[in-house]
Amino acid sequence: KQEVTQIPAALSVPEGENLVLNCSFTDSAIYNLQWFRQDPGKGLTSLLLIQSSQREQTSGRLNASLDKSSGRSTLYIAASQPGDSATYLCAVEGAGGTSYGKLTFGQGTILTVHP
Amino acid sequence: DGGITQSPKYLFRKEGQNVTLSCEQNLNHDAMYWYRQDPGQGLRLIYYSQIVNDFQKGDIAEGYSVSREKKESFPLTVTSAQKNPTAFYLCASGKFTGELFFGEGSRLTVL
């Protein structure tokens, strides 16, 4: 059964810092990996989608990398801002059998960026 | 505007009652999903549907039921058999194996 772990569980940084959020998964047979952002009491917003054949994706100040063989992904946020404060979740979609089309989520990293 | 609409945003239920959460999308997506979110436990899949008139159980389907009579709609019923229904429920849609888009969620509280 696929398990997804995110480290750290919480992170507090001053504005302007570059930071890295980590995601690891136990089964490397994945179709894709997605990073999401969730604000308190709200739904999830998709940030980046990395297909299993890709190594990284970039959107603005965000860069996500994927090392499928080692079961790891990182989300890099450059020049953090208070508006980046939210919970960040990663999710992997299984590639075979009953996992196809289903996402398994990590528990998230709560990020606080203070002015 | 295109998107996913969940209603109601807040719902209170007495023990023993069934309640239905609505999820509508106008993104022309084939796949739709229901997730449950509890503090400290991440999101867990309840049911999902790849096409109209077909749906599959997720990891925690017991005490829940769904229907998919229209492509745009995927309502979730929380039945009295669900032992601990208080949670935040999230509906999502997407092209199967593609990027997933979420609604704003429905918070259910059992009184």
| Set of chain A residues whose Cβ sits within 8 Å of the Cβ of B50 | 101
pLDDT value, residue B42: 83
CA–centroid distance for B66 within its chain: 8
Is there a contact between A12 and A110 (Cβ–Cβ < 8 Å)? Answer: no
| Set of chain B residues whose Cβ sits within 8 Å of the Cβ of A32 | 97
Q: Give residue-wise pLDDT tens across range A34-89.
A: 999 999 999 999 999 999 999 999 999 999 999 999 999 999 999 999 999 999 99
Which backbone phi and psi does B52 adopt, to 5 degrees? -60, 140
Query: Residue B111 — pLDDT band, cuts 50, 70, 90?
Result: confident
| Set of chain B residues whose Cβ sits within 8 Å of the Cβ of A105 | 35, 42-44
Better pLDDT: B2 or B52: B52
CA distances in angstroms from B66 to A3, A96, B21, B73, listed in the order given: 26, 24, 10, 10
Residue of A nearest to B48 (CA): A102
Asked if A34 is an interface residue toward chain B (Cβ–Cβ < 8 A), one would say: yes
pLDDT value, residue B91: 97
Tell whether the model's pLDDT for residue B98 goes beyond 70: yes
Cβ neighbours for B17, distance < 8 A, ≥ 6 positions apart: B80
Going across the sheet that includes A56-59, the strands are: A4-7, A19-25, A72-77, A62-67, A56-59
- Which of A92-96, A99-103, B23-27 is the least confident region? A99-103
Rounded CA separation B92/B104 (Å): 9
Torsion on CA atoms A1, A45, B23, A23, rounded to nearest 10: 10
pLDDT value, residue B1: 62
Measured between CA atoms, how close is A2 to chain B, in angstroms?
A: 12
Tell whether the model's pLDDT for residue A97 goes beyond 70: no
- Answer left, alpha or beta for residue A60, where phi above 0 means left and psi between -120 and 50 means alpha: left
Cβ neighbours for A5, distance < 8 A, ≥ 6 positions apart: A23, A24, A25, A106, A107
Q: Give residue-wise pLDDT tens across range B11-51.
A: 998 888 999 999 999 999 999 999 999 987 789 999 999 89
Rounded CA separation A8/A25 (Å): 15
Tell whether the model's pLDDT for residue B2 goes beyond 80: no
Tell whether the model's pLDDT for residue B80 goes beyond 70: yes
